[in-house]
Structure 1
Amino acid sequence: MLDPSVYPDRFARDHLPPLPLWPQFDGLEALGYPKRFNAAVELIDRQVAAGFGPRLAIRTPAATWTYAQLLDKANRIAAVLRDDLGLVPGNRVLLRSANNAMKAAAWLGVLKAGGIAVATMPLLRAQELSYMLGKARVQFALCDARLTDELDRAAASAPALKTIAFHSDAADGLEARMARKSGDFDNVIPSHDDVSLIAFTSGTTGLSKATVHFHRDVLAIADCLPRHILKPVPDDVFLGSAPFAFTFGLGAMLVFPLRFGGSAVMLEQPTPEAMLAAIEREGVSRLFTVPTLYRAMSPLAAGYDVSSLKSCISSGEHMPLAVFEGWYRATGVRLMNSIGSTEMLHGFLINQDTQHIPGAVGRAAPGYRAMVVDDDMNPLPPGQVGRLAVRGPTGCRYLDDVDRQQKYVQDGWNLTGDAFETDAAGNFWYHARTDDMIVSAGYNISGAEVEGVLLQHVSVAECAVVGLPNEERGQIVAAYVVLREGVVNGEAMRQELQELVKAQIAPYKYPRAIEFVTALPKTITGKIQRSALRDGR
């Protein structure tokens, strides 16, 4: 049962799935949250009240803000939204910007005013933004002045949208409006299960899905995995590559550091060189990024001082063993493989024992339960590949999408769309997205396993493996390979890679087709779009 809401705008609440379709939420009582609180207040106001005001919260190449300064900015933004734009609790506010200090303050300000944050990727175009504006019925937007063009075009489909630009010296820009506010704000204190944000999935298989998360969910992602496994302290410095719209980035770059009194380094363009330079310059201790970037940083790491790193978390997509080994050789730090989803808001499986079981995704994070099931939701024994089912204090709620809700949530469990198996010790091992499993001549083949072998070859920079239709075998294993600069492709290299796979794993898994490409199609979060390869795009 939902607790009474203080939000006069009930759109998001009224378009939640019917309660019988919700997942079961485990562990909420153990977290001990009150019935009413504002997640942003817990993240920033409480820290200032506890004496953290003078400590650094946000670090960027352009500026550094203390907790007190960040609170002041967030309060002023909340006042602009309420007083200048007329926001009432429950209204949706689109945020369009790369990761920077103003975006952090804007996200917090939206929640403090009772708004619902709808963060977007900075590379999205008008068509994608228009879809999001319509799906979430967005009324307001705070947009980096450098990114207004596409939003202005998208606004043609939402004529009532009110937009304010920041990083602007305009008289009606956000900074000018903030300067006219006092810095004090009477926070909205909603129900713990009022909506705080709407996050859109990366849309690797079609239109993005809108996922809905409560104020309690924002705190839960910090109070489970990081609190019990990473054990952050106030001196920790966090760095990640993902934008806030990718909820892996929201947790790593805002929620986690603020929850534990640490600080976040925010880069608008997180290239491998910029990431490594930031680690050295800022003394980064907690690093969160995707396997692709870890692989790109590994050969460059020797040129930087990365001795401050205490933990490095990989997520976003499967981490091949070659990435783990390359990063360890380069830095002496073992990557912690993890998996999460936008539907669950953040990570729910993580490998803590990286020294003894590299390559595994480990076990369920504290507060979560996980199992591998068949198509009828029966648990499978170790060694059998099936569907990953998860539940914990967070879970899937699609906005106004009953059909998808029924597929993702079954018997109270969240079915993430990933194919896994467990071993005898209870560790989870990733195989593929369930729609990426390859069935060739009756054999089930994990594309991720084949990719892991191909990436061991010194000449391979990146690769993706998919199943392609074949009249004789049903499907064949096909590999799309990006070679390192200067390496000559051709039949000799193709045969060399095929023989490598045959020598490492069962010969029937070898890629019968190998195409050398200059780049792989990716989403804006860095995930490889295997569906595009299957479709010939």
Structure 2
Amino acid sequence: MHRFEPSAHIDTFARDHLPPQDQWPVMRWDTLPELQAYPKRMNCARELLDKQAAIHGNRPVIYYNDEVWTYSRLLETANRIAHVLVEDLGIKPGNRVLLRSPNNPMYVACWFAVMKVGAIAVATMPLYRWRELTFMTEKAEIEVAICDWRLRDEMETTLKESKNLKRAVYFYKDGVDSLEALMASKPAEFETLDTAWDDVCLIAFTSGTTGPAKGCMHFHRDVMAICDTFNRYVLRPTKDDIFTGSPPLAFTFGLGALVTFPMHVGASTVLVEQYNPQKMLETIQEKKVTILFTAPTAYRAMTDMAKDYDISSLKKGVSAGETLPLPVWQGWYDATGVKLIDGLGGTEILHIFITSEGDGIRPGATGKPIPGYEAAIFDRDGNPVPPGIVGRLAIRGPVGCRYLDNPERQKAYVQNGWNFTGDAYLCDEDGYYWYQARADDMIISAGYNISGPEVEAVLMLHPLVQECAVIGAPDPERGQIVKAYVALRDKTKAGPETARALQDFVKAEIAPYKYPRAVDFIDALPRTETGKVQRFVLRQRN
């Protein structure tokens, strides 16, 4: 039974909505000396920003376009924003604050400001539409948002539609009501709140296989634990490393890769708002990047282009978001001499928990559990299976799944103290884990997790659609694509024009990366005698 440290939160929403402790996974803090040394009073902003700025104040922390932000500048900016949160926006410890921005230094400063005041960050993808944002504001009972002015359209609609959201403040905006204007007169110092190590500091929403997104609740100590496991023992960066990568900071993968990991050692990061493979290679060449985080799709695309750029500074590349095919690993290694670190992680467990690096890489295998974690393979009845047998992957370590007010999904994800990731794996005789397939209906396309039922729900809003089913179809470039099988009310309208109309409709309603890249029209969906859609029949068509 977990014994909570006295909370610094005045607003008790987070602890009130944690799952019952008998539904928590086992979380071990005695496996590594760094984890054992954590104090019970901990704020991750103090560890990652305040302390590092005291040591590395004049060193760069963020490169962004032509700007160079030092640790001192980031600290002072976060402190001024913290004053705005408390004095102008009335934020109290434990309140949730929605953050919405592409990858830029103001986003990072806002995130740390939320940490410093003891509030809870709810980061959202720039591509999310008002429908998704409204769900999150209501699920997490959010009243205040801080948003990049360029993303105001969906934010303004969310303000109108949400029952909870009362105010949005914008940065990168002119005018007396901008965040910059509010910050201007604030002090550059702010005393970081003395939070408990088990105070919730972020709620990360992840796409699920059924229904809407699920909120994953993580503590201040969890943020530090990913730094003291994967970062310390696998990546092993130094203060002279320069990071970059494509994952959005709203993803916990991106938060670790581009913010907490470099700052944990006093290193720097290059933030780019819109990356493509060419831009990534140009950035590595120009900024002398040493550590890169992106998805297999991008590594595949960059392999043939790499010879045209000087990327000799690159020492390490991390691949995550989807399984790394052996031909992609081999192609990148042949082109660059860099052995990609393949990582399996998840929002529920905050970051990577299985990987391999250096001479321990076995191409084609995901790898072994990182220090601090253990893994096992179970059959459908919950029995462990021997090496070489495919089963359900389960993980446990210092960080684990705690869904926001979602008992049904909590019971499915956490069983007998283990986190079940939804992946089918086998473990070989040497302890290496080999990916086989998704064990559920999640579609993983170019590193994005996409819920088929969520896309179905949007398609059903279109007046032409009678019924539909969405699956993941194999694709050589993206791993999978979203494919929709649609039965129309008027069968005579089936054709390319209607397919494009449905695709555009989905793009306008939810994040565009979720739209069905293939649409097949059928007379009726295959169903069981009890009326359930037989998705396996649709998968067999591909």
TM-score (norm 2): 0.81
Q: Measure, in 2, the Cα distance between the counterparts of 1:339 and 1:349.
A: 5
Q: Measure, in 2, the Cα distance between the counterparts of 1:3 and 1:433.
A: 37
Contact 1:211 1:399 in 2 (8 A): yes
Tell me what 1:21 maps to: 23
Q: CA deviation at 1:377?
A: 2.3
Contact 1:200 1:245 in 2 (8 A): no
Aligned partner of 2:52 among 47, 55, 61: 47
Q: CA deviation at 1:528?
A: 10
Tell me what 2:6 maps to: 4
Query: Closer, same or farther in 2 for the Cα pair 1:208/1:154, shift >3 Å?
Result: same
Q: Measure, in 2, the Cα distance between the counterparts of 1:169 and 1:260.
A: 35
* Amino acid paired to 2:296: P
Contact 1:290 1:526 in 2 (8 A): no
Query: Closer, same or farther in 2 for the Cα pair 1:103/1:271, shift >3 Å?
Result: same
* Amino acid paired to 1:114: G
1:133 aligns with 2:137: yes
Aligned partner of 1:124 among 128, 131, 135: 128
Q: CA deviation at 1:351?
A: 1.7
1:250 aligns with 2:252: no
Q: CA deviation at 1:483?
A: 8.1
Structure 1's unaligned 5+ residue stretches are: 438-446, 452-465, 467-476, 485-516
Q: Measure, in 2, the Cα distance between the counterparts of 1:430 and 1:528.
A: 26
Q: CA deviation at 1:202?
A: 3.2
* Amino acid paired to 1:314: S
Q: Measure, in 2, the Cα distance between the counterparts of 1:529 and 1:302.
A: 34
Q: CA deviation at 1:274?
A: 1.3
* Amino acid paired to 1:312: G
Query: Closer, same or farther in 2 for the Cα pair 1:368/1:6, shift >3 Å?
Result: same
Contact 2:339 2:357 in 1 (8 A): no
Q: Measure, in 2, the Cα distance between the counterparts of 1:47 and 1:213.
A: 22
Q: Measure, in 2, the Cα distance between the counterparts of 1:114 and 1:525.
A: 33
Tell me what 2:231 maps to: 226
1:417 aligns with 2:415: no
Tell me what 1:212 maps to: 217
Which runs of structure 2 are paired with 1:144-155 in the superposition (5 Å)? 144-155=148-159
Tell me what 2:449 maps to: none
Once the two structures are superposed, residues 35-94 of structure 1 have per-residue CA deviations (whole angstroms, 9 ceiling, x without a partner) of 101101110100122x20000001111411000000000001111000111100000011
Q: Matched residue of 1:435: which SS?
A: coil
Tell me what 1:269 maps to: 274
* Amino acid paired to 1:21: Q
Q: Measure, in 1, the Cα distance between the counterparts of 2:47 and 2:187.
A: 21
Q: CA deviation at 1:481?
A: 4.3
Q: Measure, in 2, the Cα distance between the counterparts of 1:202 and 1:532.
A: 21
Contact 2:137 2:165 in 1 (8 A): no
Q: CA deviation at 1:385?
A: 0.2
1:325 aligns with 2:327: no
* Amino acid paired to 1:9: D
Once the two structures are superposed, residues 363-399 of structure 1 have per-residue CA deviations (whole angstroms, 9 ceiling, x without a partner) of 0011000011112322211110000010000000000
Tell me what 2:388 maps to: 383
Q: Matched residue of 2:348: which SS?
A: coil
Q: CA deviation at 1:435?
A: 2.2
Tell me what 1:366 maps to: 371
Contact 1:246 1:525 in 2 (8 A): no
Once the two structures are superposed, residues 449-494 of structure 1 have per-residue CA deviations (whole angstroms, 9 ceiling, x without a partner) of xx9xxxxxxxxxxxxxx9xxxxxxxxxx99644689xxxxxxxxxx
Contact 2:281 2:306 in 1 (8 A): yes
Q: Matched residue of 2:203: which SS?
A: strand
Tell me what 2:528 maps to: none
Tell me what 1:183 maps to: 188
* Amino acid paired to 2:240: D
Q: CA deviation at 1:106?
A: 0.5
* Amino acid paired to 2:149: A
* Amino acid paired to 2:67: A
Tell me what 1:459 maps to: none
Structure 2's unaligned 5+ residue stretches are: 446-451, 453-470, 479-498, 521-534
Point out the more displaced range, 29-38 or 208-217: 29-38
Q: CA deviation at 1:97?
A: 0.4
CA RMSD of aligned residues (A): 3.0
Query: Closer, same or farther in 2 for the Cα pair 1:375/1:199, shift >3 Å?
Result: same
Q: CA deviation at 1:2?
A: 1.5
Contact 2:45 2:192 in 1 (8 A): no
Which runs of structure 2 are paired with 1:412-491 in the superposition (5 Å)? 412-435=417-440, 480-481=474-475
Tell me what 1:195 maps to: 200
Query: Closer, same or farther in 2 for the Cα pair 1:478/1:63, shift >3 Å?
Result: closer
Q: CA deviation at 1:359?
A: 1.0
Tell me what 1:73 maps to: 77
Once the two structures are superposed, residues 258-278 of structure 1 have per-residue CA deviations (whole angstroms, 9 ceiling, x without a partner) of 111100110100111111111
1:108 aligns with 2:119: no
Which runs of structure 2 are paired with 1:344-355 in the superposition (5 Å)? 344-353=349-358
Q: Measure, in 1, the Cα distance between the counterparts of 2:337 and 2:413.
A: 39
Q: Measure, in 2, the Cα distance between the counterparts of 1:319 and 1:105.
A: 33
Contact 1:334 1:354 in 2 (8 A): no
Once the two structures are superposed, residues 195-244 of structure 1 have per-residue CA deviations (whole angstroms, 9 ceiling, x without a partner) of 11000113465411100000000000010011011211000111111112
* Amino acid paired to 2:157: R
* Amino acid paired to 1:320: P
Tell me what 2:291 maps to: 286
Q: CA deviation at 1:329?
A: 2.1
Query: Closer, same or farther in 2 for the Cα pair 1:347/1:478, shift >3 Å?
Result: closer
Q: CA deviation at 1:295?
A: 1.1
1:99 aligns with 2:103: yes
Q: Measure, in 1, the Cα distance between the counterparts of 2:374 and 2:343.
A: 14
Q: Measure, in 2, the Cα distance between the counterparts of 1:202 and 1:324.
A: 27
Query: Closer, same or farther in 2 for the Cα pair 1:142/1:323, shift >3 Å?
Result: same
Tell me what 1:398 maps to: 403
Q: Measure, in 1, the Cα distance between the counterparts of 2:30 and 2:186.
A: 38
Tell me what 2:168 maps to: 163
Contact 1:204 1:531 in 2 (8 A): no
TM-score (norm 1): 0.82
Q: Matched residue of 1:414: which SS?
A: strand
Contact 1:372 1:421 in 2 (8 A): yes
Q: Measure, in 2, the Cα distance between the counterparts of 1:56 and 1:320.
A: 35
Query: Closer, same or farther in 2 for the Cα pair 1:48/1:525, shift >3 Å?
Result: farther
Q: Measure, in 1, the Cα distance between the counterparts of 2:519 and 2:346.
A: 21
Q: CA deviation at 1:524?
A: 6.1
* Amino acid paired to 1:15: H
1:341 aligns with 2:346: yes
Q: Measure, in 1, the Cα distance between the counterparts of 2:132 and 2:477.
A: 32
Contact 2:209 2:440 in 1 (8 A): no
Contact 2:125 2:248 in 1 (8 A): yes
Q: Measure, in 2, the Cα distance between the counterparts of 1:434 and 1:532.
A: 24
Contact 1:204 1:529 in 2 (8 A): no
